[in-house]
Structure 1
Amino acid sequence: MLFQNDKLSVRLLEQKDECLLVKWLSDPAVLEFYEGRDNAFDLHKVHEKFYNREIGVVRCIVEFDKIPIGYIQYYQVDIDERKLYGYGNVLDVIYGMDQFIGEVAYWNNGIGTLLVNSMVEFLVEQNQADRVVMDPQTWNERAIRCYEKCGFKKVKLLPKNELHEGEYRDCWLIEYIK
């Protein structure tokens, strides 16, 4: 386990979690906000995206009261992303993170806020992060409100940054500074 905060815990992704990811990423309610409803996942696609990928991304399962409810990943921002985001000359240790709660029954209960706050605290304390960044799509107001509650600020508009449901969508670069 990476960390625990009250009933919330985050552990490394394991092979046994593949069916959870398929379940969550084939649910249209989840896909509306993560990956897109036109982009449902099967076992093969889960393996390609979550298991047979680049080194440097730490992939994790989120549990609440010992029940797997979501996914979170974090990574140190590489030089290409630093340039894209405007951090080319910034010497800070910068981490990025992405997450979703896959069990819809757990939405709107404050768990997302607890998760984001806990992961930021983990990255600052354990990985010496000076900044943590994310790039939510601009229309995802519920997620952005959650992130702002956690101390993230909008930094830069990233036009047509992410393909979602057949079109490139604008995203906000948001950051948390230690």
Structure 2
Amino acid sequence: MKINSISIRKMQHTDYEIMSQWLSTKEVLEFYGDMNAPFTLQQVIDKYEPRVNGEIPVAPYIVELEDEPIGFMQRYLITDEQKEVFGYPANFIIIGIDQFIGYPELFNKGIGTKMIKLFVEDIARDKEVNRIILDPDVSNLRAIKAYEKCGFQKVKKINEDTCWMMEYTIDHP
């Protein structure tokens, strides 16, 4: 997936080092993980290697700006149990996504909006997918603004009102 200078590729084993750097940054951990528990390289390997190898149904990706890694995205199928909890019909195909930009100096430059639009466009090509959802922390106003620019709408607060469930509706012709 590529648009202008932003591209998204599947995560590889060689990306674990950069992931451990990003997941040790307080600005990333503020909304993605635990600020008091930065990831070690081994923790990144333990968490992401099964995903990279296709052993679990979560597909991880690396975002690049001018061919340099700058962020992370992942997609996964929402389970029937999750659909029931969120109030979706059982026959809906729903993809969940998560993402972050790994370098704080790249925040507030429109990069997040571009990478999300690119990812959403790719997912929406699947004619069976009805919705894409994500769940930003209610205080992550920067991310919420980017998601809204991409067409996501707030649906309801979840996780004891700490997160917004936001959805992107796909209307296939």
Q: 1:127 to 1:18 in 2, by over 3 A?
A: farther
Name the structure with the higher strand share: 1
Question: 1:104 aligns to what?
Answer: 104
Question: 1:165 aligns to what?
Answer: none
Question: 2:27 aligns to what?
Answer: 29
How far the C-alpha of 1:52 sits from its partner, in A, is 2.9
1:45 aligns with 2:43: yes
Q: 1:159 to 1:22 in 2, by over 3 A?
A: closer
How far the C-alpha of 1:57 sits from its partner, in A, is 0.8
Runs ≥4 residues deviating over 6 A: none
Q: TM-score scaled by structure 2? A: 0.91
Distance of 2:27 and 2:87 partners within structure 1: 33
Distance of 2:111 and 2:24 partners within structure 1: 21
Question: 2:165 aligns to what?
Answer: 173
Structure 2 counterparts to residues 11-90 of structure 1, below 5 A: 11-52=9-50, 55-87=56-88, 89-90=89-90
Extract unaligned runs of 5+ from structure 2. none
How far the C-alpha of 1:127 sits from its partner, in A, is 6.2
1:118 partner SS: helix
Q: State the one-letter code of the partner of 2:105.
A: A
Distance of 1:75 and 1:113 partners within structure 2: 20
**2:97–2:133 contact (8 Å) kept in structure 1:** yes
Q: Which stretch shifts more, 75-84 or 63-72?
A: 75-84
Q: 1:7-48 deviations in whole A, cap 9, x for unaligned?
A: 111111111001000100011121112112112000111012
**2:80–2:90 contact (8 Å) kept in structure 1:** no
1:99 partner SS: strand
Identity of aligned residues (%): 38
Across the aligned residues of Structure 1 and Structure 2, the Cα RMSD in angstroms comes to 1.5
Question: 2:139 aligns to what?
Answer: 139
Q: 1:88-119 deviations in whole A, cap 9, x for unaligned?
A: x2422211100000022211110000011111
**2:50–2:56 contact (8 Å) kept in structure 1:** no
How far the C-alpha of 1:128 sits from its partner, in A, is 3.9
Distance of 2:97 and 2:84 partners within structure 1: 17
2:125 partner SS: helix
**2:76–2:95 contact (8 Å) kept in structure 1:** yes
How far the C-alpha of 1:63 sits from its partner, in A, is 0.3
Q: State the one-letter code of the partner of 1:106.
A: L
Q: State the one-letter code of the partner of 1:45.
A: Q
How far the C-alpha of 1:126 sits from its partner, in A, is 4.0
